[in-house]
Structure 1
């Protein structure tokens, strides 16, 4: 039996939208927990598997890259199979991947399973926004989006704290079973609450473009990872780089000729959208790069436990949610360029603060600078959405929203990779000892501060109707 939203509303009554919203929040929060909580477990994984940063960072960047690719699959899968089947397949594959990770014996197995998890997250998460827009079409959409957004923002705040506590007491494997209860609830409840109807006309999926883009992304990440370990003339370095270049060119050529491109490149003909994309790349770098770098710094340099490192990020995440609400309110009163510039500069100040404080700084001082950065990111998120879409036509809005999210995730995947590359390079250049590690982290924070400060130039190119 195929259930559409109207049928489900009649079956469950007036409270159906609230039940559906709760389900969507639980599923999305499980995916976000998985993406952020891994960072507090990296030192423990490095110790157990006797590996270094050039390899362990794949647990973070592999997830983000696969999630980025999965975003492009989401709309087609939703249309072709319906929300229920798409979400349940993604959740089931995520659960299986998590259980297999508990018995993984090699690093490559963990990395492969994290990539599978990221793909599931990329496919499942966009379904929530589509269903919220549809089920709250008669009113209350803004409130529903606010509640959903707050829940999704709480997940990366709670993830490192809860995950760090579990890592301290049960080991790194706890990171993989932590989201499972939420996934099971979403999987079972979805059987009753999610619509199963499919679209009558499913847009053609460009599998060739999808394959080219996937190869380009992972080959480029592989090139950066191998360049940390070997010379550029080594085949294990230049071959992935060459493959990424060829696949990227083929993807662009395919997208230009396609009637319904996987990623509409025509959007970047708008100067304002190009500027917004630079901001989105930087936002991804800051959002995921800082979540990766700060716990690692706290554990390897400051000697924090995983639980204490995660606890430091908890108030920062809560402030990010509050700042996002403030940013949304300000978006109706100030131009996108002003808000984007302000958010970028606030985060740059935070990164500079973390670079400036000396080793042995108090918990409160480190927490303060982390909170400042999250306030900047909270201001950026709604301003980027309004600023990037304000310049597009009505027909381009849906494509633009997906494209800017894709670019932001891309910034996260490559940002973490590039920060790891820079961190390892500076650690080696400074002598390779404990002092060199401290200096390398400080220089990495300075690098983030510089990137955010420079991106202000792009932010002023984002025009809006205000």
Structure 2
């Protein structure tokens, strides 16, 4: 009874809107931090000497840890106090940002990103789960809308803020910008948020958490290292085997658990399975695009970091416009038609982008980026909403957690697989004839490295070859993205149910839907 009274008091407390402001600041920070690094990677590659594989790790270290810890993080908040765990998450995110800003080499940056992933995994689900304790039913929809808008706003802000910082400060500033935002969030949580918990929630399964983290880590490691070591390398094959064994053990353990963290039985529902598959494939494509585009805009087209951020806006704008216009279109044509059409539009944009040449210029890129953004918006939002709309009330939490985890896994594999494909094609196509062995090896690391070597040696031919090789590799990546989107469109058209989710069911999952729907960003 005391817990209920405290919650009711909090809902009448005028400070609740200040508390919401703190949560908005936290979600905004996480939002633009997901895209801010993509713009910084070419700069960091030049100053830290990072290879394409190391750049993939800088991006993926956060995503892998985030995906692995999302479910146990939510359960920790339920059991030990959501405010306490939210403050802990913001503290870890702040500490990781400081380490990243002060890092002197690539390994420390990767470690910092992984540490930030732990904090992000705690903040994302818990920022939403405290809303019911702050707002009554009459205000909750408005609060959810505000916090979800903050999540979405982080998408276009990341590249712009990152580009401006890189033009005026050193690369560590893209990490340092998180510190004051996280500090504000911590202070507000301490003074404004009530403590809530749910001791009856499932216990955190340490073994399942370890199996998830090590299984995903082994898989991503094998994919990233394969282009350099070779796909038949014993270590690469061993890591693929370890990943398969660990993830199989995870599935078997969760299927036997009485109250599993990862409710695999939900995948037996056709509506949930194929909507989740569509949303995961969309994240696979989106994360791959955001990884390969900034080096093209900076190294090949010659724009600075801020200009690169601005030039990613057509995709972000298309995504946000489509996401906001989805509801009336779904009401008119049904979710299956909209998801399928969105994926076809996305496939068309990727296939159009695969025709990019060194001389295409930014106008052509802006065209297919805009189309891609519209395809993303019309596919991922109804897919996520449709998946969660199939869930019964008592499975809303576990279902949303599973979807968020699958989405992050799609993003991690997208960066790893498409980045590795790009690295392999680039190295094969780069003409290093006549270069010293060490210079040729360095030039093959990335397009940024090839330009630096070309400048040092005064070789315009190497720079031109690097541009041609990178654009060809980007075209191959976009072709794969287009094929993946077409396959997803066919699956959606064939297997998604026609019916729109029942209002009562979708109402019950609204607080859990917002993050995965609006947070289609990494």
Q: Same fold (TM over 0.5)?
A: yes
Q: Is 1:299 aligned with 2:333?
A: no
- How far did 1:84 drift? 1.3
Counterparts of 1:150-169 in structure 2 under 5 Å? 150-169=149-168
Structure 1 residues 332 and 400: alpha-carbon distance in aligned structure 2, compared to 1, 3 A threshold: farther
Superposed displacement of residue 288, structure 1 = 1.9
- Residue correspondences, number: 465
SS, match of residue 102 in structure 1: helix
Cα distance in 2, alignment partners of residues 93 and 8 from structure 1 = 27
By how many angstroms is 1:159 displaced? 0.6
Q: Distance in 1 between matches of 2:492 and 2:175?
A: 38
Q: State whether residues 9 and 16 of structure 1, in contact with CA within 8 Å, keep that contact through their aligned partners in structure 2.
A: no
1:86 maps to 85
Deviation string for 1:280-324 (max 9, x for gaps)?
221111232222222122112222211111111235324422321
Q: Indicate the residue corresponding to 1:24 in structure 2.
A: 23
Aligned to 2:499: 465
- More displaced stretch, 432-441 vs 77-86: 432-441
2:483 matched to which residue of 1? 450
1:319–1:71 Cα change, 3 Å = same
Distance of 1:17 and 1:328 partners within structure 2: 29
Q: Matched residues in 1 for 2:392 and 2:344: separation?
A: 30
Cα separation, 2, equivalents of 1:192 and 1:464 = 48
Matches within 5 A, 1:404-443: 404-432=403-431, 433-434=465-466, 435-443=468-476
The aligned counterpart of 1:394 is: 393
Q: What is the CA–CA distance in structure 1 between the aligned matches of 2:81 and 2:498, rounded to whole Å?
A: 35
- The whole-number CA distance in structure 2 between the counterparts of 1:278 and 1:134 is 33
- The 3-state SS of whatever aligns with 2:303 is coil
Counterparts of 1:415 and 1:361, CA distance in 2: 25
| Mapped pair 1:223 → 2:222 | yes
Distance in 1 of aligned mates of 2:197 and 2:372: 42
RMSD: 2.2
Tell me, yes or no, if the aligned pair for 1:343 and 1:377 is still in contact at 8 Å.
yes
Deviates further, 238-247 or 157-166: 238-247
Using a 3 Å threshold, how does the CA distance of structure 1 residues 379 and 129 change in structure 2: closer, same or farther? farther
Distance of aligned partners of 1:375 and 1:37 in 2 relative to their CA distance in 1, 3 Å threshold:
same
Partner of 2:319: 320
Can you list the C-alpha shifts for 1:40-68, whole angstroms capped at 9, x where unaligned?
Answer: 11111111222210121111111111111
Deviation at 1:416, TM superposition (A): 0.8
More off after superposition, 112-121 vs 43-52 = 43-52
Cα drift, residue 259 of structure 1: 0.8
Cα 1:90–1:37, aligned 2, differ >3 Å: closer, same or farther?
same
**Could you tell me how far apart the structure 1 residues matched to 2:58 and 2:361 are?**
29
Query: Take 1:324 and 1:259, find their aligned partners in 2: how far apart are those partners?
Result: 37
TM-score by structure 2 length? 0.84
Partner Cα separation in structure 1 for residue 351 and residue 117 of structure 2: 31
Q: How far does the alpha carbon of each residue in 1:247-297 deviate from its partner, in whole angstroms, 9 at most, with x for none?
A: 112112211211111211111111222212221221111232222222122
Tell me, which stretches of 5 or more residues in structure 1 are unaligned? none
> Tell me, what secondary structure is at the counterpart of 1:85?
helix
CA separation in 2, counterparts of 1:16 and 1:378? 34
Q: Secondary structure at the match of 2:312?
A: helix
Cα displacement string for residues 96-134 of structure 1 (whole angstroms, at most 9, x for unaligned residues): 111112222221111011011112112211112223355
Distance, in Å, in 2 between the alignment partners of 1:323 and 1:18 is 29
Residue by residue over 1:63-98, the C-alpha shift from the partner in whole angstroms, topping out at 9 and shown as x without a partner, is 111111121122211112212111111111111111
- Asked whether the 8 Å contact 2:38–2:294 carries over to 1, the reply is yes
Deviation string 1:144-166 (CA, Å, 9 cap, x unpaired) is: 33322222111120111110121
> How does 1:32-431 map onto structure 2 within 5 Å?
32-431=31-430
- The answer to whether the 8 Å contact 1:68/1:122 transfers is yes
CA distance in 1, matches of 2:104, 2:73: 32
- CA deviation after TM superposition for structure 1 residue 193, in Å: 1.9
The unaligned stretches of length 5 or more in structure 2 are: 432-464, 501-522
User: In the TM superposition, what whole-angstrom CA distance separates every residue of 1:348-407 from its partner, at most 9, and x where no partner exists?
Assistant: 222223222432444444223222212222222320122212333332222222111211
- Partners of 1:10 and 1:316 lie apart in 2 by 43
Aligned equivalents of 1:203, 1:319: Cα separation in 2: 40
* Residues in 2 aligned to 1:261 and 1:12: alpha-carbon distance in whole angstroms: 32
Q: How far apart, in 2, do the equivalents of 1:387 and 1:31 lie?
A: 25
Contact 1:328 1:382 in 2 (8 A): no
More off after superposition, 29-38 vs 212-221: 29-38
Is 1:387–1:463's contact at 8 Å kept on the other side of the alignment? Answer: no
